[in-house]
Structure 1
Amino acid sequence: MVAQNNHNYFKISKRVPVEDEWEKIRKEKVKQRILAVKSRRTELQACIEGEEQNLADIQIVVLGASWSAKSSAGNLILGKEAFQVDESRTTVCCKVRHAEVQGKQLTVVDTPGWFWQYPLEKTSETDKLEIRRSVHLCPPGPHAILLTVPIATAFNQTYQTAVEEHMGLLGKEVWSHTIVLFTRGDWLGDTTIEERIEEEGEHLEWLMEQCGYRYHVVNCKNHTDSTQVTELLKKIEEMVMENNGCHYVPDEKSNPFNELELKLKKGKTDIEKGQRQKYMLQELLKERGKKLSEVRIVLLGGEGVGKSSSGNMILQRYFFETTLEEGFKHQPRTKQCTIKQRKIAGCQISVVDTPGWSTSNLGDAKEILRSVTVCSPGPHAFLLVLPVDRTFTKKDEKTVMELMSLFGEHVWRYTLIIFSGHWLRDRPVEQYIACEGEPLQTLIRKCGNRYHVQADESHNLKNLLKMIEEMVTRNRGEYFTEKKEEKKATTSVIKWFTGKVLTEEEWNKREDELIERMLEAAVVDTDAESKQPSGRQRGSFDGSVPNSKFQ
């Protein structure tokens, strides 16, 4: 027994030293690999200098996570402000710029980034298409793919997964044409990049192995140091020589141009349809509408989607505590329904923030359902908040449908979708909707095609309140209640064109069906309008739904 206990103690006491030894071996392996690559670089540079002519035309695609300084790196390489740079996400679609630098014609393609902590399945379909499209924008293909990695960010398992999956959109061959471009080089201080690579661990080592230990460091703030670009262009030439003079040739079968063009065309058509239906609805309900003196709103959505931020935007004050992006789980979340109120432009606005849905249980469901009584006697509008920085899947659709069912089927008449965040910038949200496909489009139809993009501008709030007002008008001024009260069939009746006696409920149902048919007819064929006589052109409609004492 004593011997056995001594044996166990020996194993335990030796565990840490063994792990330390393996770490030393790993670092030594990385060091030797870096030295071998540097030696190979010297040989390649000698070969290039011996050639009569170096590359005169270099084509580059810059990829990476958002806020990894892709656009800044492109500007540094081209020696001018070719790409917009600010604190927000600036690149939402691929941009191609050219310049002559050090006697070479350079082409640089800037691309949309992905969230470094997001796997591919969360990235929006629009961004995936743009990443795939990037390598087709400099035919016959780029000489180099620069994968930007900010030195200030730890390259952990999450980051590795995101890089591996997003680079996978371009195929396995992309790695033999890739150089890791470490940005924000000023964060290194007195540490060399080689020391950083050795210390960072297995995940950065994986990245180095994938691209053959090709890397370069830049400080995009230091525009006066031209040697940064000179050295980078040398490394690109060396890589091209290693690849026998070949550039990366994208697979034409995966060319997304046609797919993207069709979806963008659909997005444009959807804008036209939406505008037409909006105009039609305003005309149909113009005799019904009246200014609201009070609006009660409930915010719904998953954790970290921007409900609290949307509430602050509506009230134009910092009432609700906001959180950082997903991945920072230590940040506080909304745990219970909270109501805040403020009078804006003569209208008393009440906003209820609710717990997120991603960890829904019975307690969460009860708390979410309690939002209706928190803004008693009931909300005029439910704002379903969806982020546009990620994709909307069939699973997301199912989750939303199940949780909205807590309120009953009639909740959809009072629901409007809010797309949160500035991820789209100037790109129309209809393009995002068209690219995302059927799950999101089904949800939007369920909400009566009512959606709005959150922004900080005051006119944006006015547009949102107007949209809510129009929804309330269509609901005959009614607010949402958990149980629809039965209408008394004997108290209110009306004879319509057929002479049939209708209850108030039957009348309202027929009226709603008539509106739906008219809205559908307005967009059956957007090209048919141009073939109609001038008296039938858009803008000539002058009519409304038959008025009644029930309005």
Structure 2
Amino acid sequence: MSHGPEPTLSGLVLLLLGEKQSGKSSAGNAILSRRAFHQKTSRSCRESSSVFGLQVTVVDTPGWSSPSTTPRKVSREICRSLTLCHQGPHAILLVLPACSSFRPEELGAMEAQIRQLETSIWQQAIVLFTHGDQLGGLSIQEHIRQQGGSLQWLLERCGNRYQVMSSHSAQSQAQVMELFQKIQRMVEVPKHPRGVGYRPQILLNQHVSIRQEIHVEMDRSPEYRQQITSTDPPIIRGFVSARAGWNPSLSLILLGRRKSGKSSAGNMILNREQFQTGIKTTSCSAGRAEISGRSVTVVDTPGWSLFGLANAEQVRMGILHSPSLCPAGSRRTFLLVIPVDSFKEKDRKAIETNVAVLGDEVWRSTVVLFTYGDELKGSTVEKYIEKKGKPLLWVLERCGSRYHVCDTKTNNEAQVNQLLELVERL
């Protein structure tokens, strides 16, 4: 299935999570007003459509079963779904069929999968009740009351946000409109520079987009753009950047084998000793700095090993977790760190295996970062690439021939700025 166009910052990114046969895919189809997803989802996938004048991206995921019987590949795909939300999801829709009971067993299975995401989701979570038409004459409030403590606990964690969707297409459009309005109310909005709380509205019934609302406000107040920071919601920052050419913050995720110079490269970029060097990196960590007017976050990840010296499962789960450490709305790029030394077919295979957990689309936002550039000893990196032949050329072709060379032994601001300029051109 095609993943569709890249999600834009001028719309909504929604992530669907839920158990098997909960109606996730059908809900995604209703939101996008087309048959974008098929039943029996086995891999996380992304589709987009224009809905009510907004560009809406929905990421569907495989459904889980009980914790003891959910295959590990399903859990991996659920973790990978975060990498498909390139600007970070504006809302995470926890899908529950309204016609089924929600007992402690179902809550436990949900919690088990959410824990593996290793990031807090509750401020962005909305419970989406599917098959609402099967409630009969029962109101959703009465259904919630009858279900008891497990469902009420879940709703409290989600700030009592929920939406009902039925299986009838005649009702679904109005229900999707209600869902979008609830998402917009959930999104935090920055304060207007004049001191008045400014909340652009999604006037769906009049087909007026948020972008138009913000453009009007920016025309009135040119200094408004200066008030937007990396902590503001991506749905706001995206509209401002589209209007004024303002650059969003950058997130750089370091990938590579052990002793490739990942941590040293991260320290070089941030211009401080953020990451420990000389020891094995076993978990993800992040650091942030202002670099030449840019807000830059660097995420270090566990390195894989060609000789079995690293826990392969720990490495891959770390790679899957890494995007969740990036600020929502930042422009995310993967830096594939390759030291200037030997590079053979086994190196290529290790890269292919470990990067594959992020999905094929990751290559479109990946740059090769050659470390230990001093080892070139006056030669050019192009000659090094030619000498290493097909294995290295395969990697570079997957990355669109994007690469940069750095010398981590020298604190050269120019080489960092050149790298960031390359990232910004992606």
TM range (shorter): 0.3 to 0.5
TM-score calculated relative to the size of structure 2: 0.44
TM-score calculated relative to the size of structure 1: 0.35
Larger Rg: 1
